[in-house]
Chains A and B, each alone.
Chain A
Amino acid sequence: EAQVTQNPRYLITVTGKKLTVTCSQNMNHEYMSWYRQDPGLGLRQIYYSMNVEVTDKGDVPEGYKVSRKEKRNFPLILESPSPNQTSLYFCASSFAGGVWYGYTFGSGTRLTVV
């Protein structure tokens, strides 16, 4: 089944403790992206990647890192999480190079930083 898999689904952590949220897709998509969803703010893009070893900042990249060493994986790293990073996070992927492609989304990771 074609899908984007995020782990974990739920995570509670403490301020400053490094964490990684994994994202993997099995559709051979070039384009992958991370979003955070907050009430009243909709979806905001954190980072995106057009292909392996190519990443770029989205609208709200501060406090986050990403890497794209393999085509299928795009982990989101919080080196020193803070309470304002408490949010619902989504990974998404699509084919690149054509405006007609929509995203496939993962099921989300709800992160709480205390």
Chain B
Amino acid sequence: GDSVTQMEGPVTLSEEAFLTINCTYTATGYPSLFWYVQYPGEGLQLLLKATKADDKGSNKGFEATYRKETTSFHLEKGSVQVSDSAVYFCALRNRDDKIIFGKGTRLHILP
């Protein structure tokens, strides 16, 4: 079946460091890909999305590019802040309308 695999955390970085969180997927057809963020004590919020190959989603300084050839959707940010500390979920929506989540990656940013 379809699935999403993302790097295990926690990931700990210093403020202003470069961030990459890896995400790969398995799906038939052409799913849409998403990154969600969960701040402490809150629900998940949509961070960015891409709906076809080579699309780049971006929001709040975060970016991810839909790579069909490597079935990947890695999340990147050039300079992280303490306020970016959260859990990040990669997800896909497949042709059956089902949304499948990865297990989440906890990110800690140190001042």
Residues of A contacting B99 with CB < 8 Å? 33, 94, 102-103
**Per-residue A-contact encoding for B25-57, CB less than 8 Å = 1, 0 else:** 000001110101000001111100101000000
- How many A residues touch the partner, as a band? 20 to 34
Whole-angstrom distance from the CB of B13 to the nearest CB of chain A? 22
A27 at the interface (CB under 8 A from B): no
Bound form: Cα–Cα A108–B89 in Å: 16
Instruction: Tell whether A21 is near chain B: CB-to-CB under 8 Å.
Output: no
Known: A42-B101, A42-B103, A43-B101. A102 touches B93 (CB 8 A): yes
- Across the interface, name the chain A residue whose C-beta is closest to B97: A96
Does B94 sit at the interface, judged by CB under 8 A?
Answer: yes
Query: CB distance A101 to B43 under 8 Å?
Result: no
Instruction: Indicate the size class of the contact surface on chain B.
Output: 20 to 34
**CB-defined contacts of A43 to chain B, threshold 8 Å:** 44, 89, 101, 104
Question: How close is B68's CB to chain A, nearest CB, in angstroms?
Answer: 14
Q: Is the CB of A105 within 8 A of B44?
A: yes
Cα separation A33 to B99 with both chains bound (whole Å): 10
Collect the chain B residues with CB atoms within 8 Å of residue A105's CB: 36, 43-45
> Are B103 and A90 in contact, with the CB atoms below 8 A?
no
**What is the minimal beta-carbon distance from A100 to any residue of chain B, in angstroms?**
4
Given the interface pairs A42-B89, A99-B31, A107-B43, the reply to whether A31 lies near B49 with Cβ below 8 Å is: no
B51 engages A99 (CB within 8 Å): yes
Q: Which of A31-63 contact B (CB under 8 A)?
A: 31, 33, 40-43, 45, 50
